[in-house]
Structure 1
Amino acid sequence: MAFADSSSTRMAYVKEVTEGTTPASPAWKTLRYTGEQLQYQKQTTTSNEIRPDRNVSDVIQVGRQVSGSINFELSYATLDDLLEGVLGGTWATNVLKNGVTRHAFSFEKTFEQGATDSFLRYRGCLIGGMSLDITAQQIVTGSVNIMGLGGSAGTTALASATYAAPNANPVLNASSDFASLAIGGVSPSPRIRSLSLQIENNLRAQPEVGNIDLAGIGLGRCVFTGRMEAYFESLALYNAILNHDDIDLAFTVGADTGSKYTVTLPRIKLLNGDPMAGGNDQDVMLPIDFQAIYDASGSPAFGATMSVTRGVS
């Protein structure tokens, strides 16, 4: 048996029809990723029995759950299923908005070990959050956070399982693949050095008596926060912070016509930020934390906090 090599590890996922149950004869989709910390983690507690010899009498397993994250470099059409999971919506005419739909997944890690491989599986997984980091002259990167109900391990693939190869779409960068940035309600429109976005679903574990695994996973509020680092060239953006104005943010990223995403946050609040002269020979930057909030405007009403449009030209 050979030692497992991280560079030969396969990560795959499949949507679940019944939450918590990996489909029979699963049609796995191989996932493009750069690293992962997914684990089926035990919860233990140490016995408090008092012994005259001062020894610990036992460590008791009291629970188990799936948790962890998967890191990625953004490429077109790679994460569309997981975007549905994190936003709680469904693609409709190439538009996805945040909603209340539960999308559960099974994940599988395959470790190549020669004649006998190892398969680690995680079921009943919900996407707890996602981050996206866009920095000048860098690859667009991010991660998804996962919480799941249970796991298992084996030395063979599941019966009749298939594995679809991932797409070969180019990895996107923040230079040539960043098509546009629009910040409405501020003039002149600021120029930025970095932009990050975080989505948090505030999942909560639901343990129960008589079950070592979770009984379920609860959904909390879907919260959108972010941070931008703008070059300080006028008071327009700073005044928008002080005045607590509603502004909007949209950006398009992609390499080819018809294979781009536009992310729209139609109503955001700028929370805090001050320009500072940190020292000699530096640009004065205006770092700003922001939070997106629900927008009911428009006709028809936008009716969400965030939307993603794919297939943009």
Structure 2
Amino acid sequence: MTSTNRVRLTGVAEATYGVTPNTPRMRKQRVTSIGLARKADYVDSDDLRDDRQNSDPTMVGESNNGSLGIEWHYPVPGSLLDSEIESAFCNPWINAPSRDNDGTAASVIQSVTASTQVVAVAAGAAFVTGQLVYFTGFGLSGNRGKLAKVTTGSATVPAFLGAGLVDEASPAGAARMKVVGFEGGAADIKAVADGLTSEVGGLDFTTLGLTIGGWVKVGDTATTNRFDTAGTNVYGRIVGIAARKLTLDNLPATWAADTGAGKQIRVFTSDVIVNGVQKRGVTLERGFMGQAVPTYIAQNGNRVNTLEFGGQAKQKATGSVAFMGLKGAKGPVSLDDTPDEAPDSAAYPVFAFSANCGRIGEGGQALGKPNYAKAVKFTINNNLRPIEACSNGDDTAPAPVDIEDGAFDVAVELDTYFGNGDLLDKVMAGTATSLNTRLEKGGKAIVWEAPRLTPREGDPNVAGKNQDVMLPVRLTASKDPLTGVQLILSRFELVR
């Protein structure tokens, strides 16, 4: 007997599509169902027989595909979910600078010197003056959980004067530094009608690694790091980046000008991923750990065909990841006997709609009274197809030789209460709009956004007695002139 509670799913991103890395570092994933399948493909014989019976079917090939059910949490950088998102978007994340010891003390983050407030790190993307860096996993409490401003930028020896860092000669294996925002000098950053400005001699917004279409959260919890106007300490989407001006849209009605007098305003920023054209695959392995000798089924060249994200009021954010792959193999030996654990559910809890949904925005404005949103779902479809050949040239299993993609289709399903005819008018006129959904929990947040959508279906639904009349709207994405893409996902490693 094999229990579903003893099935282990692991995976690894493929540096070369279709090739499992040598001695791969596999990572577990949190899933609610595993519907992967490695199967032989058969066709029936067309023999004509006078006894009305059938000849044996013929095995003609092999297929590797299937899907996973998931509950959405923060997609931790380097996790298997993170790699699957890259496969679905056919693009890598645009990540803010970071350093991570990744289990080996002092390997990347090499030392912290209190007297100079300098952190020695291995070379990588430079930390820039004015950026906010979040310190986690350090061995000493004086450094752990610190949010510090870069005062001297560097790729190897950034300084954080005034941060109060303490000497740590050998930072722990869990030590991580990640840019999560930026901070202006006293009265440097000001709020204007359509975004933020910086004084001459202050921050240069073009140096901070910001992305058009990405989201920001203005203001921290401390009075000195937020605007006095409470309604200005909110989220906005970046639509323009100049040296002294950061133009934002999707701002709430509460947004107002504020000079930020005497303040060192903090702004939290996000990593961003957008749709592209890169072929990115993962190798997946199922381990049936409840067996006396576990069976392992590995499948490589898995590309994400469809990815779903969504949910409804007072329910968890859920979805699925469906793959189309190349080859598979079964055996008694795992690709990695000691895979990395999946992201911890306490540190990275499941998001929920209602409780954690800060906003569902349509056409740049939050959906609210009287047309509240009841449910929303985003679906990516890469329209993948297997490339079958008479021979793959290496005398191995008769699996597809490649997986090719089609159009990057994005469908959005939005169910609203039918409070008035405004949204219905857009449906009937085919008026282009946009939709974004923000979830925030435990100091982390994600924002899904389709910046240009055409509403194609929608009619008030009268289902029966004692029910609310709903307007289910179905929309499809097309290329947005401003961002040049159809879908954007932003993730905040820290907001508060």
**What residue in structure 2 maps to residue 234 of structure 1?**
420
Q: Does 1:18 align with 2:16?
A: yes
Q: Does 1:285 align with 2:470?
A: yes
Measure, in 2, the Cα distance between the counterparts of 1:41 and 1:310: 37
**What residue in structure 1 maps to residue 357 of structure 2?**
178
Deviation string, structure 1 residues 39-90 (Cα, Å, up to 9, x no partner): 0122101222233443322211001111110000111125222111101111
The 10-residue stretch of structure 1 (168-177 or 49-58) with the greater mean CA deviation from structure 2: 49-58
Gaps in structure 2 of 5+ consecutive residues: 96-270, 393-397
Structure 1 residue 33: Cα displacement: 0.1
**What residue in structure 2 maps to residue 85 of structure 1?**
87
One of 272, 286, 305 as aligned partner of 2:457: 272
Measure, in 1, the Cα distance between the counterparts of 2:53 and 2:90: 50
Deviation string, structure 1 residues 109-168 (Cα, Å, up to 9, x no partner): 00013431110111111000111221111111100110000100111223x654000111
Q: Does 1:163 align with 2:163?
A: no
Specify the SS of the correspondent of 1:86: helix
Measure, in 1, the Cα distance between the counterparts of 2:413 and 2:367: 19
Structure 1 residue 26: Cα displacement: 0.9
**RMSD after superposition:** 1.7
The 10-residue stretch of structure 1 (53-62 or 202-211) with the greater mean CA deviation from structure 2: 53-62
Structure 1 residue 188: Cα displacement: 7.0
Deviation string, structure 1 residues 169-189 (Cα, Å, up to 9, x no partner): 111111211121111167975
Measure, in 2, the Cα distance between the counterparts of 1:90 and 1:33: 22
One of 258, 277, 281 as aligned partner of 1:100: 277
Superposition map of 1:120-269 within 5 A: 120-158=297-335, 162-168=338-344, 169-184=348-363, 189=368, 190-211=371-392, 212-257=398-443, 259-269=444-454
The 10-residue stretch of structure 1 (214-223 or 267-276) with the greater mean CA deviation from structure 2: 267-276
Cα separation, partners in 2 of 1:41 and 1:213, compared to 1, 3 Å? same
TM-score, scaled relative to structure 1: 0.93
The number of aligned residues is 305
**What residue in structure 1 maps to residue 60 of structure 2?**
62
Specify the SS of the correspondent of 1:270: strand
Specify the SS of the correspondent of 2:307: strand
Q: Does 1:306 align with 2:492?
A: no
Q: Is the Cα–Cα contact under 8 Å of residues 376 and 414 in structure 2 kept in the other structure?
A: yes
**What residue in structure 2 maps to residue 42 of structure 1?**
40
Measure, in 2, the Cα distance between the counterparts of 1:203 and 1:218: 6
- The structure richer in strand per residue is 1
Cα separation, partners in 2 of 1:187 and 1:80, compared to 1, 3 Å? closer
Specify the SS of the correspondent of 1:7: helix
Measure, in 2, the Cα distance between the counterparts of 1:76 and 1:90: 17
Cα separation, partners in 2 of 1:113 and 1:289, compared to 1, 3 Å? same
Identical aligned residues as a percent = 27
Q: Does 1:113 align with 2:290?
A: yes
Structure 1 residue 307: Cα displacement: 0.5
Which amino acid in the other structure matches residue 11 of structure 1? L
Measure, in 2, the Cα distance between the counterparts of 1:53 and 1:276: 56
TM-score, scaled relative to structure 2: 0.59
Larger Rg: 2
Structure 1 residue 254: Cα displacement: 2.5
